[in-house]
Structure 1
Amino acid sequence: MMSGILKKTVAFACLLIALLIPFSGAFAYTNYMTLPSENPNDGIGDPFVMKYNGTFYLYTSTGQNYTGFKCWSSTDAVNWTYAGLCSTEAITNDGYAPEVVYWNGTFYMYTSPRGAGHYVLTSSSPTGPFTLVTGNLGHSIDGSVFIDDNGSWTFYSAGGDGIHAAPMSSPTSIGSDVVLGGTQMGGQWTEGATVIKRNGTYHLTATGNHVLSPGYRVNAFSNTTGPRQPFTPSNNNPILLNSEGSQVGLGHNSIFIGPDLDTYYAVYHNLTSVSSGGLPVRKVNIDAIGWNGDKMAMYGPTNWSMPNPSLPNFEDRFQRASVGAGYSNLNGGTWGISNNFMYQSAKGSTAFYINYENTFTTASDYTAEYNMKEISKGTAGPKLGAVYGYVDASNYGVAILNGNLNRLETVTLVNGVWDTQVNTPLPAGFDITKLHTIRIEKSGTTYKYFVDKMLLETKITTRLGAGKVGYLSCDNEANFGYIAVSNKVNGSGIFDAYKPIPGTIQAVHYNSGGEGVGYHDLSGGNAGGKYIRNDNVDIRDNPEGGHNIGWNSTGEWYKYNVSVKASGTYNLGLRYATTYTGTQVRVWLDSTDVTGLVTLPSTGGWDNWRTYTIKGLNLTGGNHTLRVETVTGEFDFYTLQLNSADNSSFAKSDNFATSFSGDWNWSGGNWAIESGEASINNVGKRTLGSTGWSDYTVEADIKGIDGLNSGIMVRVQNPAQGGAGNDAGLGTDFYQGYLAVISPTQLSLGKQNYNWTTLASAAGTYNLNAWHHMKVVVAGNNIKVYVGDMVNPKIDYTDNSNPFITGKVGMRAHYAHTHFDNFSVTH
């Protein structure tokens, strides 16, 4: 029989083993998610996630005349426990988009009941009860708060002219709006803003245009000038969009850092149906965000089984009765466990009482999180803080909160010698008796110190490396909460995450593990000298944003973890540049060659970027490893875009004798059959075929009756209409693809990505009430457009700027009564 002491020791050792095991990918989640006790008639709309003391909390709109905001909690961001109603105040009836900010011991909730201004509620707990503390502060819907590194607050709200921003003089006072230039989405209503700051860049995401539209979508914007300055739209927009199938109407996201302390996630809703009363029924989703420099890359939307977000390499929630053998003490003190906090209660000495976790040592680069508050103070110089890089009693670092002097103090001890202490002021009114979070990021020789998400100090030093973590107390009684460490930093968590296919993968997000594991590089060092990775892979700046892998030479390769939605055929759009002729590449799925040898044409320059489509990759559904191999030659590459594909031969036609054929699968506008011809009066579009089609020839006869602004669409993805009533006019630009269009005086080719860009045009005369025969041929990135003369194209254009590589065909007219006939498509 074991003794009681031995039983406790074994039990605690098992606990530590559990705490130290990171997520292995054995568990999975699937979007969309149904949470316990969500409203049956509404689901979950406008989700917002915040983290407090190691636990995530999710809040959502009430909807459909309910009163009371619901709340859920989770430690892994996918398994949610219902925490009950966190507020039942009258103004929560039909409450929109509650967001919660923790500041100095108080939780502040911002919400707009029925869109009629904003109110602030407060609580001492993330699960409430939240009680009303202000009158109506005004401002449009979807209020969101951002706190900058200097402690200044900004309030964001929706608008028809873009996102609005207002300074806040306190958590309950909102100033006058300014419109943030650059944030309007396609000239339409823009809402659901959220702002984060990362590496000195402000990132804003917003949603447009209407929650009831399947084309509801998220765009990203950024600037380096300030939270209330104009923003620049990302060239990657939309970052979240899907308008067909079972997962449509994606939007109103918020952004949070996941359980691994490093990887960002977007939480958003999708539209599942519209109630009989015309209100949305929505569900919650989460997907990972990867960073390529300052470029935000959304790894989603997904709606198939994906591995759970990774957990930290070490975490402790102190859910036990004693500190246990997993911690070691330096300099004494009185340490214990109470109510899921570790405490230290001895006062009267200026010694640093330290308790550090003794079973886990960080990697050389890591992120650490600490939560703490002072209960009472002595008179000798009370302090509390975080310990990092602990090797022994003569070698460690500390990040200290000094309540008496209202500052953050950082200093390192190496070989028994302290370096110069750095002191950084904390915000005015900082209450050290309330729980605060210290976050430390170590990347190479750079240390970043955050307090309550504010970056207060950046230090360059070689004095410390890997080590252990712990807590420090000096001349006070203090409580210490959730502590965690992840051997990931500055976005490295995305490297081993499973990237979704279909989807686009950033080349620099290859697997970790180093030479021979995540990559094979034959040259020493990083010739480009860019990005955060410390490997020998050559990485350089890319003119399209972020970075790319460069100088890929014969025999080199890179691996990517991928999650393939379903077994089938896929086309790969490789974004690359090379001056070599005859460079050959090959792509493997696990140990299977899925492309054979592929020869890449020269792009004519190392910054002449092209997308080359490699067709017919047969991929097996599930989690796999993709490997990109350079067989001969040299090239740089930026992204891997993988789409479901149908490369088989086909021939489809419709002469509209009495009705539309069954091949037409999406329609917007008042289409009809008139005298054996397809007719659209005013605005509309219609699509046929498969989103997996790639190269084909489309032909149709087009006649303008009382106007002509009409033509053929190719490579169409995500068609939708706009507004609450799925209006064809409001959704006139709602699709992705190309349009060859004739007007009375010219022929134009344009690219539509929920906004229009003219690519090429040719003058011509196209009379009303006359038939004009149009042919469009798409092959690779080249599009040829013929009208009348079927031998000599009037437009011959190659799209080298992130081309669409697959999609359906269709017809479209814009404010013009138009007839179409003899429509055909062949491959």
Structure 2
Amino acid sequence: MKNAFTLHPILLLALLLTFIPVTYAQVTNPRTLDQEWGEYGIGDPYILKFRGKYYLYCSTRDDQSGVKCWSSWDLANWTYEGLCVPASVTTTKGAYAPEVIYWNGTFYMYTSPAGNGHYVLSASSPTGPFSVQTGNLGYSIDGSVFIDDNAQLYFTYAGGSGIRGAAMSSPLSIGTGSTISGTSLNGWTEGSTLFKRNGVYYLTYCGNHVFSSGYRVVYGTAAAPLGSYTAGANNPVVLNTEGAFFGLGHSGSVIGPDLDTWFIAYHNLLGPSSIVGPNRKLNIDPMGFNGSQLLVYGPTNWAQPAPALPAFYDRFDRTAIGSNWTNINGGNWGIYNQELLWQDNKATQQWYRQVSTAATAANYTAEFNLKEMSRGGTDARFGAVFSYVDENTFGSALLSSYDNTLETDIKVNGVSIGVSAVPLPPGWDYQKWHVIRVEKEGTTFRIYVDGMLKSARTANITAGGKIGVTTYHDHADFGYTAFSNHVNGSGVFSFHKPVPGVIPAVHYNEGGEGVGYHDLSSANIGGKYRADRVDIRDCEEGGQNIGWNQTGEWYQYNVNVQSTGPYHLGLRYATTFTACKLRVYCDGADVSGIVSIPATGSWSAWRTAVLKNLNLPAGYHTIRLETVEGEFDFAALRFESGAATLPNGSDNFDSGSFSGLWNYSNGNYTISSGRAGIDGFGKRTMGDVGWTDYTVEADVQCPSSGNGGLVFRVRNPAAAQFGTSDALSSDYFQGYYAGIEAGGIVLGKQNYNWAQLSRNNQPLTPGQFYHLRAVVSGANIKVYLDDMLTPVIDYTDPSPIISGKAGIRTHAANMSFDNFNISPGTGVAISAILF
């Protein structure tokens, strides 16, 4: 048995006030594991949890057969388990994206060898050996299986117009597939994973090509497994294109060792292997949720806190039961092979229990792994107890192999709420390992069997209690058993969140009044999301936000800053007709001064205020946001890299080659007669991603077809597929575009897709040069054409991109550029600009 160490709130506050550094076990992406495929690494990672342990599978190098497997108890330290599919199984040559599910005692693997259809393999152990169970079932690459609460299985896989899906009649049989609505990435889409949380179906997927630096992960939500899906609010949730950390994609998701926090595993691209295929590395980052909104706390490639462990767990990896358990009513208990706990007295009709000496908090998640060896009669039961105070107050989740049911009941002061018997799938094998999961939140208990939500009960138990295992007239075995004092995503509240990154306002630190927050109300006025005094309501933009934030109130967020330097803080907020004032602290030191944020005009009129260039030190720190004056609601804090220099840069192309200031290019731009020209698609950028407000301008030749112009606040530029320039590539960036075409001027927003913001229709002459200027200040964008006094477009973006580089872009046009120039806007002083 192991117990996690938890800081007392008073001690934690003292540490913060005296700035004593706290050390943590750390992990760093990308990961390098023992025995990776040479010059191929780990691509298309998939992680399965079984009996408390994690098993990692990845694609097989194209010229090799077999599938490799690693195991871990903590998602941080991995042990190579060898080939779980022997190399002699030639149908696994170049096994793409092998994924494994556990279903009723059997492990099933789905993989597509070199993209040539799918095969299903099976084994009795997660480490194999797996053997082929089907012929070629067809379907394109990246097959993934999801099991719903009603035991219905679904198969999703890659497609040219979006992710495709099909129902399954058994783990070995897949029905007819069709494209799932709302899952297209405007081309080839792959790497899907489907999971369910709080009644919402989440589908993560990626595209468009593994060799593109713009490979990325997005998600959608739906009310049914096969859609229709609505794109997530924070998409892409995994993306980085520049530097050495790029080509991020093909993810899988799993609940972490704290039993509560979800994690996403994905790969990054090193480049083409000199042997065959792409060379990739493993990455794992936590995910958070705000309502149905999913957020990846990443992608990160600097040291992060290792995943948290449960408050209590037992692997039974010893020879005696020990003092961490209390026996209730006797029975014949023991430890087998230093891996499980057993009770084999089935002759007596008596409840026997082992109950933990450790107790949970009021809200918790608990996990119990168990199987039946044999029953003493038709009334035999085995299972879990939870919220255990004594024999008069506790909950139970029991399996009956005779009735093929899960039975749940909760007693409070000797009074039962009533037994509820829920049928389990036909043919359920109780002599195989199964897992019961209990989530207690307030007075609600949610009970799962093998990941399927089977029962929800309500009982008036508001305090914590112990957990345990139990038998009646039965011989049963019990494996990994644990509880966490987190539930429904609360595990991310106090962990150190990466900066740069986005933090939902409602993910403030735990610890309560005076530690995680200071709130002047006596209770949560909005009654949403969290049960402490902070006022939280449903947000018009989705999820929940902190509301009724008054003068003197503050909220704290633990952060992990990538490197010392300036950072912009984009605060998503709403207020009425009065400006407000706020201040930001880091470890108690004022890093912003008092900053005024303008009124937005309505509690539902959400805007972004940017506090520019806050200087933050690298490493683990605590950010505090304090309301100095006024009242406002806020939904999120977005930290982005700031800039130490003023925006500047130019190129008149007179030298016959591009200036060295250009730091990104795709497309076949050339220089002729002192002008940069292209026929087709492309983009180029220069500058710093931390630039916010500036002017960018150039002489732009109007094309006879297509369009071209200026891009600004550009982040994550990339090219599609193998780096070739095509129509897809022209949308591969995040930022703004102001361009000209024969019919007028257009302003648009790019997030790996195109959204028009505004347009000015006027006839322009193909072949003629026009002077095009974009002035970006806060959320306002003004576009000028020849006349530099009166803008042809004046647009304010209510959901703006904060900062980024500038450059030129061409879309399906034959045209030229001259006299490109970037000049400063409002400078780099700390201030709040209404975005």
CA deviation after TM superposition for structure 1 residue 466, in Å: 1.2
Which residue is equivalent to 2:829?
Answer: none
**Is the partner of 1:413 in helix, strand or coil?**
strand
Distance 1:369 1:530 in 2: 26
Which residue is equivalent to 2:513?
Answer: 515
Which residue is equivalent to 2:348?
Answer: 349
Distance 1:710 1:136 in 2: 48
- Specify which of 811, 816, 825 is matched with residue 813 of structure 2: 816
> Residue 282 of structure 2 aligns to which amino acid in structure 1?
V
- Specify which of 576, 582, 586 is matched with residue 583 of structure 2: 586
Which residue is equivalent to 2:142?
Answer: 142
Matched ranges for 1:68-79 at <5 A: 68-79=66-77
Distance 1:725 1:710 in 2: 20
Is the aligned partner of 1:749 residue 2:747?
A: yes
Is the aligned partner of 1:626 residue 2:603?
A: no
In structure 2, list runs of 5 or more residues that go unmatched.
Answer: 8-21, 825-835
**Is the partner of 1:493 in helix, strand or coil?**
helix
> Residue 620 of structure 1 aligns to which amino acid in structure 2?
P
CA deviation after TM superposition for structure 1 residue 572, in Å: 0.9
Is the aligned partner of 1:19 residue 2:3?
A: yes
Normalized against structure 2, the TM-score is what? 0.95
- Aligned partners of 1:739 and 1:750 also within 8 Å: yes
Which residue is equivalent to 2:466?
Answer: 468
Judged with a 3 Å threshold, the aligned counterparts in structure 2 of structure 1 residues 725 and 631 are, in CA distance, closer, same or farther, namely closer
Distance 1:681 1:631 in 2: 55
In structure 1, list runs of 5 or more residues that go unmatched.
Answer: 1-15
> Residue 197 of structure 1 aligns to which amino acid in structure 2?
K
> Residue 366 of structure 1 aligns to which amino acid in structure 2?
Y
CA deviation after TM superposition for structure 1 residue 64, in Å: 2.7
Which residue is equivalent to 2:325?
Answer: 327
- Aligned partners of 1:22 and 1:311 also within 8 Å: no
Which residue is equivalent to 1:59?
Answer: 57
Structure 1 range deviating more: 648-657 or 296-305 = 648-657
Which residue is equivalent to 2:783?
Answer: 785
Matched ranges for 1:286-685 at <5 A: 286-339=284-337, 340-358=339-357, 360-379=358-377, 381-463=379-461, 465-531=463-529, 533-646=530-643, 648-657=645-654, 658-685=656-683
Structure 1 range deviating more: 718-727 or 340-349 = 718-727
**Is the partner of 1:91 in helix, strand or coil?**
helix
> Residue 217 of structure 1 aligns to which amino acid in structure 2?
R
Which residue is equivalent to 1:710?
Answer: 708
**Is the partner of 1:662 in helix, strand or coil?**
coil
Matched ranges for 1:718-737 at <5 A: 718-737=716-735
Distance 2:488 2:704 in 1: 58
> Residue 616 of structure 1 aligns to which amino acid in structure 2?
N
> Residue 754 of structure 2 aligns to which amino acid in structure 1?
W
**Is the partner of 2:107 in helix, strand or coil?**
strand
Which residue is equivalent to 1:200?
Answer: 199
> Residue 122 of structure 2 aligns to which amino acid in structure 1?
T
Map Cα deviations across residues 200-235 of structure 1 (whole Å, 9 max, x no partner).
Answer: 0000000010000000001110012x1123111112
Structure 1 range deviating more: 387-396 or 554-563 = 387-396
- Aligned partners of 1:149 and 1:455 also within 8 Å: yes
> Residue 372 of structure 2 aligns to which amino acid in structure 1?
E
- Aligned partners of 2:257 and 2:309 also within 8 Å: yes
CA deviation after TM superposition for structure 1 residue 445, in Å: 0.7
CA deviation after TM superposition for structure 1 residue 766, in Å: 1.7
Map Cα deviations across residues 309-345 of structure 1 (whole Å, 9 max, x no partner).
Answer: 1100000000000111221111111000002100001
Which residue is equivalent to 2:10?
Answer: none
Which residue is equivalent to 1:167?
Answer: 167
CA deviation after TM superposition for structure 1 residue 685, in Å: 0.4
> Residue 440 of structure 1 aligns to which amino acid in structure 2?
V
- Aligned partners of 1:580 and 1:635 also within 8 Å: no
> Residue 652 of structure 1 aligns to which amino acid in structure 2?
G
Which residue is equivalent to 2:14?
Answer: none
Which residue is equivalent to 2:830?
Answer: none
Distance 1:810 1:765 in 2: 25
CA deviation after TM superposition for structure 1 residue 277, in Å: 5.3
Which residue is equivalent to 1:129?
Answer: 129
Is the aligned partner of 1:230 residue 2:228?
A: yes
**Is the partner of 1:137 in helix, strand or coil?**
coil
Which residue is equivalent to 1:7?
Answer: none
CA deviation after TM superposition for structure 1 residue 580, in Å: 4.3
CA deviation after TM superposition for structure 1 residue 725, in Å: 4.6
Distance 2:582 2:413 in 1: 52
Structure 1 range deviating more: 639-648 or 271-280 = 271-280
Distance 2:785 2:415 in 1: 81
Which residue is equivalent to 1:102?
Answer: 102
**Is the partner of 1:248 in helix, strand or coil?**
coil
Distance 2:167 2:266 in 1: 26
- Aligned partners of 2:443 and 2:458 also within 8 Å: yes
CA deviation after TM superposition for structure 1 residue 731, in Å: 1.3
Distance 1:591 1:203 in 2: 39
Distance 1:272 1:725 in 2: 14
- Aligned partners of 2:703 and 2:741 also within 8 Å: no
Which residue is equivalent to 1:41?
Answer: 39
Distance 2:444 2:412 in 1: 17
Distance 2:221 2:382 in 1: 36
CA deviation after TM superposition for structure 1 residue 412, in Å: 2.1
Which residue is equivalent to 1:701?
Answer: 699
How many corresponding residue pairs? 806
CA deviation after TM superposition for structure 1 residue 464, in Å: 6.3
Distance 2:219 2:460 in 1: 36
- Aligned partners of 1:218 and 1:241 also within 8 Å: yes
Distance 1:300 1:427 in 2: 38
Judged with a 3 Å threshold, the aligned counterparts in structure 2 of structure 1 residues 122 and 25 are, in CA distance, closer, same or farther, namely farther
> Residue 111 of structure 2 aligns to which amino acid in structure 1?
T
Distance 1:515 1:509 in 2: 15
Distance 1:686 1:469 in 2: 60
Distance 2:106 2:404 in 1: 19
Distance 1:642 1:228 in 2: 35
Distance 1:705 1:26 in 2: 57
> Residue 604 of structure 1 aligns to which amino acid in structure 2?
G
**Is the partner of 1:481 in helix, strand or coil?**
strand
CA deviation after TM superposition for structure 1 residue 592, in Å: 1.1
Distance 2:67 2:310 in 1: 30
- Aligned partners of 2:62 and 2:114 also within 8 Å: no
> Residue 419 of structure 1 aligns to which amino acid in structure 2?
I
- Specify which of 730, 735, 738 is matched with residue 736 of structure 2: 738
- Aligned partners of 2:368 and 2:435 also within 8 Å: yes
Distance 2:533 2:571 in 1: 22
**Is the partner of 1:720 in helix, strand or coil?**
coil
> Residue 348 of structure 1 aligns to which amino acid in structure 2?
A
Judged with a 3 Å threshold, the aligned counterparts in structure 2 of structure 1 residues 493 and 231 are, in CA distance, closer, same or farther, namely same
Which residue is equivalent to 1:153?
Answer: 153
- Aligned partners of 1:439 and 1:450 also within 8 Å: yes
- Aligned partners of 2:651 and 2:820 also within 8 Å: yes
- Aligned partners of 2:577 and 2:602 also within 8 Å: no
Question: Identity across aligned pairs (percent)?
Answer: 52
Which residue is equivalent to 1:12?
Answer: none
Distance 2:415 2:124 in 1: 42
Distance 1:104 1:372 in 2: 12
- Aligned partners of 1:580 and 1:634 also within 8 Å: no
Judged with a 3 Å threshold, the aligned counterparts in structure 2 of structure 1 residues 517 and 163 are, in CA distance, closer, same or farther, namely same
Distance 1:693 1:384 in 2: 62
CA deviation after TM superposition for structure 1 residue 476, in Å: 1.6
